[in-house]
A = this chain, B = another copy of it.
Amino acid sequence: MVIYDIEDDKVRNLISETCKDYGLERIQFSAFMGLLNRNRREELYLKLFRIVENKKGKIIIQPICEKDDKERKIIINEKTKTDR
């Protein structure tokens, strides 16, 4: 899982494009997730590191094992009720 806080639009786009290049899928506005082995994860880390070098931002790369992956809970609400 990769989650990031990046102010600059261009840098943020570069981050998301890089995540997509590594086969990750967007799970939140600023979060991606996907299957990566340790080498690919390390490679992605270095790429992301280079992208935000000298730019303001924070990126977290969080490995999640298969067991925890199954325990994820998601709450989604697409629409707002008009009557509050």
Chain B residues with Cβ below 8 Å from A77 are 52-58
Q: Is the CB of A1 within 8 A of B62?
A: yes
State whether the Cβ of A18 lies closer than 8 Å to any Cβ in chain B. no
Chain A residues numbered 62-84 whose CB sits less than 8 Å from any CB in chain B: 62-65, 67-68, 71-81, 84
CB distance from A23 to the nearest CB of B (A): 18
Q: Copies of this chain, how many?
A: 2
Range for the number of chain A residues in contact with chain B: 35 or more
State whether the Cβ of A43 lies closer than 8 Å to any Cβ in chain B. no
Q: Is the CB of B65 within 8 A of A67?
A: yes
A residues contacting B by CB (< 8 A) are: 1, 3-5, 27-31, 45, 48-49, 52-65, 67-68, 71-81, 84
